[in-house]
């Protein structure tokens, strides 16, 4: 295998930060050398040394950075279809909980599942994302709520990258829910923080996340987790303002978190704070759709203040059983009026930023050769289709 390949006759959406749009180069050539992008530009400007290199003619196809799903919970046991059915028949939250549904049912199923069972299920979910051109996936813990299971989830997440050509970034989400019969403060201090320390000691944690919400943890409790994360030198993310505004977004900004996720109930002041701290707003339309939310995130305020926006699936068994990053992009446009260029930046450049990654998410010299080649001519087609997968080929670290 030659170490240099020229992809010619491409339409390249480089998604480089200098352009507010796609950074489109028509009749483009992209040179991949030893797993990295060596050169990108107009075909006729291809530098002399590459002109004799092995070439693949892409026949005008669109090439984008490979997609990045920067917010998922794809390691979990069981499913919540029964709850879905009950809800549609009019059951209340309490009735669902009494019938054994809700987040606690996923916690039980995840505790009961073996490592191998969890891995097998997670691999099929990872495969679905890979089939849509995803090269990097973030995966959270948070359905264990005890040390043993939180660590098991993170080990499974790490193992995915051993079995599939995909990069996995883990987030410790011990502060996801209060286990049944336990006090929230006691949980944070006696289980969540010790589990974080243990997971970090095992090298299982790339970032620390929390669920800051009336039904989960308040800003004081999240601060304790964040302080410990800081002491360990770990970057932060936060589920904030999904169902109400209790100050999670402001907290995330204050701590310089990499991202604040959901943010339906964020305000203009929150947008200002995110912009000042350089925190990415991660937009999760799958959860908005599933729970019939009516409050849309303040996209225009994010735009006005220059908050980078990412888009992700939030793939989880309860509020977002969404296994399609392309559908997440479509929903971000249709439900929230994001532009297709914003949606694509949200699953490439800004998704990388939400994960603290600087070597992927754009097509530029020196970046990893993580590319998606699509059977479309124009980048807006990626967000326009509903339930259509036009992926032609995916290149992961230079390997097809």
Residue among 174, 308, 318, 398 that touches ligand DI6 (CB under 6 A): 318
Q: Which residue, 73 or 121, is less far from Fe ion as judged by CB?
A: 73
Residue among 234, 258, 287, 371 that touches ligand DI6 (CB under 6 A): 287
Q: Which residue, 211 or 302, is less far from ligand DI6 as judged by CB?
A: 211
Least separation, in Å, of the C-beta of 302 and ligand DI6? 19
Least separation, in Å, of the C-beta of 71 and Fe ion? 6
**For residues 58 and 7, is the Cβ–Cβ distance under 8 A?**
yes
The Cα 279–Cα 276 span in angstroms is: 8
Residue among 314, 329, 354, 370 that touches Fe ion (CB under 5 A): 314
The Cα 283–Cα 299 span in angstroms is: 9
Bridge partners (DSSP) of residue 67 are 134
Q: Which residue, 314 or 342, is less far from Fe ion as judged by CB?
A: 314
Q: Which residue, 71 or 368, is less far from ligand DI6 as judged by CB?
A: 71
Nearest of 8, 16, 2, 9 to residue 344 by alpha carbon? 16
Least separation, in Å, of the C-beta of 316 and Fe ion? 6
Least separation, in Å, of the C-beta of 164 and ligand DI6? 24
Which residues in 241-260 contact ligand DI6 (CB under 6 A)?
A: 242
In this chain, which stretch among 121-129, 218-226, 312-320, 380-388 interacts with Fe ion, using CB under 5 A?
312-320
Which of Fe ion, ligand DI6, none interacts with 103 (beta carbon under 5 to 8 A by kind)?
ligand DI6
Read off the DSSP letter of residue 76: -
**For residues 238 and 263, is the Cβ–Cβ distance under 8 A?**
no
Residue among 23, 317, 340, 346 that touches ligand DI6 (CB under 6 A): 317
157, 163, 168, 171: CA torsion to nearest 10: 10
User: Residues touching ligand DI6: how many (CB under 6 A)?
Assistant: 11
In this chain, which stretch among 7-15, 36-44, 164-172, 316-324 interacts with ligand DI6, using CB under 6 A?
316-324
Least separation, in Å, of the C-beta of 385 and ligand DI6? 26
In this chain, which stretch among 124-132, 313-321, 366-374, 383-391 interacts with ligand DI6, using CB under 6 A?
313-321
Residue span 82-121 as binding mask against ligand DI6, x where in contact by CB under 6 A, dash where not: ---------------------x--x---------------
User: What are the φ and ψ backbone dihedral angles of 368, each rounded to 5 degrees?
Assistant: -55, 145
Q: Which residue, 103 or 126, is less far from ligand DI6 as judged by CB?
A: 103
Bridge partners (DSSP) of residue 137 are 69, 168
Residue nearest to ligand DI6 (CB): 318
Residue nearest to Fe ion (CB): 314
Counting contacts by CB under 5 A, is residue 69 touching Fe ion?
A: no
Residues that bind ligand DI6 (CB under 6 A): 103, 106, 176, 211, 239, 242, 287, 316-319
């Amino acid at each position: 295998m030659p170490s240099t390949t020229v992809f010619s006759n491409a339409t390249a959406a480089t998604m480089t930060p200098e352009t507010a749009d796609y950074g489109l180069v028509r009749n483009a050539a992209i040179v991949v050398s030893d797993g990295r992008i060596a050169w990108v530009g107009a075909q006729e400007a291809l530098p002399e040394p590459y002109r004799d290199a092995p070439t693949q003619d892409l026949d005008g196809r669109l090439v984008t950075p490979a997609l990045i799903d920067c917010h998922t919970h794809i390691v979990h046991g069981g499913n919540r279809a029964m709850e879905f059915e009950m809800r549609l028949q009019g059951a209340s939250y309490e009735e669902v909980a009494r019938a054994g549904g809700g987040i606690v049912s996923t916690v039980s199923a995840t505790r009961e599942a073996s490592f191998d069972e969890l891995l097998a299920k997670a691999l099929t979910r990872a495969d679905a994302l890979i089939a849509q051109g995803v090269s990097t996936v973030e995966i959270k813990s948070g359905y264990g709520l005890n040390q043993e299971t939180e660590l098991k989830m993170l080990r499974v997440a790490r193992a995915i990258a051993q079995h599939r050509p995909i990069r996995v970034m883990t987030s410790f989400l011990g502060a996801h829910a209060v286990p049944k019969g336990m006090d929230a403060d006691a949980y944070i201090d006696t289980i969540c923080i010790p589990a974080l320390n243990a997971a970090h000691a095992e090298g299982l944690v790339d970032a620390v996340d929390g669920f800051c919400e009336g039904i989960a943890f308040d800003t004081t409790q999240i601060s304790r987790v964040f302080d410990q994360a800081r002491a360990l030198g770990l970057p932060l993310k936060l589920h904030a303002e999904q169902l109400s505004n209790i100050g999670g977004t402001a907290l995330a900004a204050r701590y310089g978190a990499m991202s604040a996720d959901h943010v339906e109930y964020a305000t203009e002041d929150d947008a200002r704070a995110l912009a000042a701290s350089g925190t990415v707003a991660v937009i999760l339309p799958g959860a908005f759709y599933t729970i019939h939310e009516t409050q849309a995130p303040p996209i225009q305020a994010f735009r006005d203040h220059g908050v980078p926006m990412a888009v992700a699936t939030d793939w989880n068994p309860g509020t977002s059983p969404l296994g399609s990053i392309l559908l997440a992009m479509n929903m971000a446009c249709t439900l929230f009026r994001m532009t297709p260029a914003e949606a694509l930046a949200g699953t490439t450049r800004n998704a990388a930023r939400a994960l603290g990654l600087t070597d992927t998410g754009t097509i530029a010299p020196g970046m990893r050769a993580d590319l998606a080649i699509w059977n479309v001519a124009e980048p807006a087609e990626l967000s326009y289709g509903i339930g259509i997968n036009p992926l032609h080929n995916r290149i992961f670290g230079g390997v097809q």
